Amino acid sequence: MITSKERMQIAMEHKEPDRVPFQATFVPEVDKILREKYSKEIANIKGKTTEKYQGMTELDILFGHDMLLLTYGLSTGYYRDTDSETYFDDWGIKWKKIPYITKNGTGYYTEIVGFPLADDSKIDSYIPPDPDNEDMSYAEEVIKNYGKSHYICGIIDCSIFEALKYLRGITQSLIDIVANKDIAHKIMDMSVDYHLKLGYKLIERGADLLWLADDLGGEHKMLMSPEIFREMVKPKMGYMINSLKTKNKNIKIAFHSDGYIEPIIDDLIEAGVDLLNPIQPESMSPAEIKKKYGSRIGMWGTISTQQTLPFGTPEDVEKEVRERIKACGPNGGFLLAPTHNIQLDVPFENIEAFYNAVNKYRDYPIKY
Amino acid sequence: MASDDIYKQLYENVLNGDFEQTGELANKALENNIDPMDAINSYLVPAIELVGERFGKKEYFLPDLMRSANAMKNALEVFEKDIREKGVERKSSGKVVIGTVKGDIHEIGKSIVASLLTAKGFTVTDLGVDVESEVFINKIVEEGAEILAMSALLPITMPYQGKVIEDLKARGLRDKIKIMVGGSPVTQEHAERIGADGYADDAVEAVKLAERLMKS
């Protein structure tokens, strides 16, 4: 049998491996529940040694995920394992843990409540974190253990527009991008430099894929016009991707944006994106995206964490997995996954149904 | 600046989202003895309606909508203050209590809806984010609100919209108020399931929905 890494490599070349590759991630509360539930099974699996950020865990190996994620950069601000209600990250961003109650217990969502550059006067004197201070030992450990067997995805997300949002606030950033373009450029360029350096570090250590992200889509409409995206964001994205691929021509690039972004998919392909995530089915039809763009860009995601996983039945989950593999699996270029971390409101039966369905339907060639 | 030019400029500012000078322009309008009610009804409202139309056609996007709503707000604040000082009231299109439900601190969508409702003459009490059921209900009673608008941006907080409706029923208040819900993960099916009176997909649709609910 081929390794997970080979399976992903073949899929990324838009060919069919033995099976559709897949992966999933969990919010920390679900991760904890599953680790306890499967404590015996994971006892001898090498996992991460600290709980500092989200990322690869023993569960990835137990559940057979083909790709492992290493979280670096701005998005490490999410889900910090801390007892305090609020905390600051290295960027001076203030995060707050917002509790919510589900049938499976109380969870926390982390949200930004303090934006370090909300005030214009702070911008010129702001010093971003130094990428050389990032602790790369976590990436090194995972790659040492699994770099030969698994496809390694280095996360350098929240890289361009998202950084503007995190540092200025969403309302202000949407105004900046059309009305205060100098400020927008300055802050986005600063983030590009930082995340690019992190990307180089991850390439040097053996990452196969780097994951960029900027949420540009609303549920049914883009947050900004495609013209503003092309003017303000796309050139920076192209610069980042070109620099990363110059560093290592074999490196692949994934890009994440929630919501509806169909008007710019051609732009993403042109900028050098190889894999699009998460193709939220509430916003864009995965089958149509496959038909229109599937030969030119890979698809990663498509299983609804907004509706089907939390609110559907196990039968609904199985049906969705089956349909997506049938629609998006042919000719490879497909990495099946939930569209976001599996949340605490997802019934355990639905998580189980997801894995059972993946194993039932993922064999190539697809015969149903 | 002649009155006609000021009117035209107010209209253009709202349409183009040039919000920074609009409050000042409204003051200039009052200095020129422009009737604030006329300025609102004949210039600001048509401008924001055209903004809404362009948003619906995907010619305008969120940055445009936000900036136009800001321009509208800046002018309205000046004009409404003047109207109140003269002892008149701008006729209210309806009383709305709005907020993002408990457990959810997403603000922007709810705030744009609140701005646009205000722009269209609704009297809006914005309770902010992370709002408890009891806080919604007490405010509804206090204000004599006719519409409750609730936002939820996370699937995990969507069910709380239903809880507020159940609590209103328990207090015997459900039939006294129209309820509308919104937020990215919210759907028409969810609205029906929890017994809301309406769902809108975006802020512009939300205003139309509120207007429909006031007539029903």
Count of structural domains within chain A: 1
CATH value at residue A215: 3.20.20.210
Long-range Cβ contacts of B166-175 (<8 Å, 24+ apart): B167/B133, B167/B134, B167/B137, B168/B137, B168/B140, B171/B137, B173/B137, B173/B140, B173/B141
- B205 — contact with chain A (CB < 8 Å)? no
Q: Give pLDDT, residue A79.
A: 82
Q: Report if residue A64 sits inside a domain.
A: yes
Cis peptide before A226 (omega within 30 of 0): no
Q: Which two tokens stand for residue A172?
A: 């202000």
Separation between Cα atoms, residue B89 and residue B71, nearest integer Å: 21
Q: Are A89 and A330 in contact (CB under 8 A)?
A: no
Give, for B39, the enclosing helix (H) or strand (E).
helix B36-39
Q: Are B209 and B200 in contact (CB under 8 A)?
A: yes
Q: Give pLDDT, residue A50.
A: 61
- B66 — contact with chain A (CB < 8 Å)? yes
Q: Is the pLDDT confidence value at A51 over 60?
A: no
Q: Are B164 and B101 in contact (CB under 8 A)?
A: yes
State which residues form the domain around A13. 4-79+128-361
| Fold: same for B3-85 and B94-215 | no
Q: Which two tokens stand for residue A286?
A: 């995965």
Of B17, B105, B155, the CB nearest to A343: B155
Q: Report if residue A265 sits inside a domain.
A: yes
Which chain B residues have a beta carbon less than 8 Å from that of A344?
Answer: 156
Q: Report if residue A280 sits inside a domain.
A: yes
Q: Report if residue A92 sits inside a domain.
A: no
Phi, psi of A294 (to 5 degrees): -60, -25
Q: Report if residue A114 sits inside a domain.
A: no
- B156 — contact with chain A (CB < 8 Å)? yes
Extents of the domains making up chain B: 3-85, 94-215
- B57 — contact with chain A (CB < 8 Å)? no
Q: What is the pLDDT of residues A212-257, one digit of tens each?
A: 999 999 999 999 999 999 999 999 999 999 999 999 999 999 999 9
Separation between Cα atoms, residue B57 and residue B68, nearest integer Å: 16
For domain B3-85, give the CATH number.
1.10.1240.10
Phi, psi of A299 (to 5 degrees): -120, 135
The answer to whether the CB atoms of B63 and A344 lie below 8 A apart is no
For domain B94-215, give the CATH number.
3.40.50.280
Give, for all 216 residues of chain B, the pLDDT tens digit. 788 899 999 999 999 999 999 999 999 999 999 999 999 999 999 999 999 999 999 999 999 999 999 999 999 999 999 998 988 878 899 999 999 999 998 988 999 999 999 999 999 999 999 999 999 999 999 999 999 999 999 999 999 999 999 999 999 999 999 999 999 999 999 999 999 999 999 999 999 999 999 998
Q: Are A156 and A73 in contact (CB under 8 A)?
A: yes
Q: What is the pLDDT of residues A199-208, one digit of tens each?
A: 999 999 999 9
Which chain B residues have a beta carbon less than 8 Å from that of A107?
Answer: 156
Q: Using only the alpha carbons of chain A, give its radius of gyration.
A: 20
DSSP secondary structure string for all residues of A110-146: EEEEE-TTSSGGGTTT--PPPGGGS--HHHHHHHHHH
Q: Using only the alpha carbons of chain B, give its radius of gyration.
A: 18
Of B108, B185, B187, the CB nearest to A170: B108
Fill in the DSSP letter of residue A20.
-
Of B61, B66, B155, the CB nearest to A222: B61
Q: How many interchain CB pairs under 8 A, A with B?
A: 76
Q: Report if residue A117 sits inside a domain.
A: no
The answer to whether the CB atoms of A102 and B156 lie below 8 A apart is yes
What number of other Cβ atoms are within 10 A of residue A39's Cβ? 10
- B46 — contact with chain A (CB < 8 Å)? no
Q: Report if residue A8 sits inside a domain.
A: yes
Best of A173, A180, A225, A261 to disrupt the B interface by mutation (most B CBs within 10 Å)? A225
Q: Report if residue A116 sits inside a domain.
A: no
Amino acid identity, position A120: D
ipTM of the prediction = 0.85
Residue A295 has, within 13 A of its CA and on its CB side, a CA count of 2
The answer to whether the CB atoms of B201 and A99 lie below 8 A apart is no
CA of A210 vs chain B CAs: smallest distance (Å): 27
